[in-house]
Structure 1
């Protein structure tokens, strides 16, 4: 019997990735590739990057494979009904018809297949619920801490639709970050990877990347340590606000910058668990699991677990 696989695509502020994912949520390594995105890319560059990773995945598919659908996770805001996106970190794309681009490309080789489209925050919560450390949790906030900060809610076993859960746009008090979408006081402006590096630079640290900041933290650099503590306090505060509004049992955190140190998630948990309201302080804060493959697994879940999102074949 042919293997049924899903083409998963993850588009973020610095890269686009694609791969084939099997029904167990495993990413087929030979089909996976990435290409750069970012504010310096033209629309033509971005189109070419997306199509290049799609073509790589399909051209490296096992001979026995049958592609049953496509899941696209994208930096928001998005309009999942229209299949368009307007990523904060990619200003060239506003109301961009990404789904239509993918549909046109795959129709030549795959015919008409369902193409499901959602925010990357929804993908991370689906991945954590389906194959990650929050498997089966029905009241769950999933978070991405990376180039930006996003999130998605599962409440009562169903994903909250639209741009619900976009926790990166919550205002955090007592912090001032870099200007982001006209504000210096959102969680994203304070605690995303690039903005944290920029803050550390204002304190005298001379590194330039999140990877360098992680190394400096491991080496005991005092500025790097203050930077990570600052992230934990801001993220913890935002989680408390979100969980005061929406019934939540677990917060699962993923994304590249969330791996800056294994200490970060426990530090965030300590902030949340010290909240004075017991229905907030009882919330468990955990690593989402699945490491760097979580966004692709979550994108595939838009097809495999479409029942959670209210999608249909």
Structure 2
């Protein structure tokens, strides 16, 4: 018998993943479909329903007590709608209602943004475990994040709180697709790290990898242009993290996502830059750590967010099986 079984959906521009997750964070059943992001809204919805149908067909389904959804955003948790930037056909799409009906209409459904889901996962089972005040972020194709404050997930009224990618850190910087200027995402996301390196004269090695991973490999080998691109990204992240810490007094910033896979190429200059930006006495001891929940972060975070009453029990570091997120 599995305790506190919940269904989790992780919806992004590339894939729609689903799982049944128990109270200890074990993923017991998985389902996945590609996201038909360039097709119509109903086509995308049917892909979600196909994933959910696989989960409801499991013999474990009768034990599910709630459904959690972590979605690319913006989301509107109050309205139960999503408008993901990378799924153009979904604008104010009533995702919560569709999922609730597809699951039989009897289970509570909770929606959060994908950055908030990452925060839920990392506070439950990852690097932010045992910390009452944390910023958890993903640095990948985009930059997102979520907050834990006073030991509880803090999604905000619409489910988007902690979206650090769209803090402006360069007042005269490039325009961002969000409409702002000089956003963290416009400097520190994987595509922009690669673009800056290429613009400044870096060229890929024999493998032809022109992504941020290729730039990271070159930086590890000592290429000065590649190193400089990562250092600029690190400064943007440090400025955003320091601003967040100054505003809400977090004591740890957890960084995950594909760009974090660069390791010390990113974390070395990030920690050094943080000393330049987090200078006030109450943020000086801020810790930066790599995320630990990996590829399952979205699913684990959606599962954690599905049962918010768990959060009162998560901020003391006990055995994983003794609590949820």
Aligned residue pairs total 303
Counterpart pick for 1:143 among 137, 142, 145: 137
Structure 1 match to 2:239: 237
1:298 equivalent in alignment to 2:301: yes
Is the contact made by 1:23 and 1:304 (CA closer than 8 Å) also made in structure 2?
Answer: no
Distance apart, 1:65 and its partner CA: 6.4
Change over 3 Å in CA distance of 1:201–1:18 after alignment to 2: farther
Matched, 1:283 2:280: no
Range that drifts further, 206-215 or 264-273: 206-215
SS in structure 1 of the partner of residue 27 of structure 2: coil
TM-score (norm 2): 0.83
> Could you say which residue in structure 2 is the equivalent of 1:169?
166
Unmatched runs of 5 consecutive residues or more in structure 1: none
User: Does 1:223 find its partner at 2:225?
Assistant: yes
1:188 aligns with 2:185: yes
Equivalence map 1:254-273=2 (5 Å): 254-273=256-275
CA contact (8 A) 2:171 2:181 kept: no
What TM-score does the superposition give when structure 1 sets the normalisation length?
A: 0.85
Matches within 5 A, 1:152-163: 152-160=146-154, 161-162=156-157, 163=160
Please give the alpha-carbon distance, in whole angstroms, between the structure 1 residues aligned to 2:4 and 2:97.
Answer: 23
Alpha-carbon deviations, 1:96-116, whole Å to 9, x = none?
111112112211xxx511111
User: Cα 1:158–1:3, aligned 2, differ >3 Å: closer, same or farther?
Assistant: closer
2 CA distance for matches of 1:44 and 1:217? 44
- Which runs of structure 2 are paired with 1:1-313 in the superposition (5 Å)? 1=1, 4-28=4-28, 31-36=30-35, 38=37, 40-59=38-57, 61=58, 66-107=63-104, 112-160=106-154, 161-162=156-157, 163-173=160-170, 176-177=173-174, 179-204=176-201, 205=203, 207-274=209-276, 275-308=278-311
> Residues of 2 paired with 1:292 and 1:217: CA distance?
24
Q: Is the 8 A contact 2:133 2:147 kept in 1?
A: yes
The structure-2 alpha-carbon separation of the partners of 1:21 and 1:63, relative to structure 1 and needing over 3 Å to count, comes to: closer
CA contact (8 A) 1:19 1:31 kept: yes
Quickly say closer, same or farther: Cα 1:25–1:37, change in 2 above 3 A: farther
Q: Output the aligned Cα RMSD.
A: 2.6
The Cα shift of 1:2 comes to 5.5
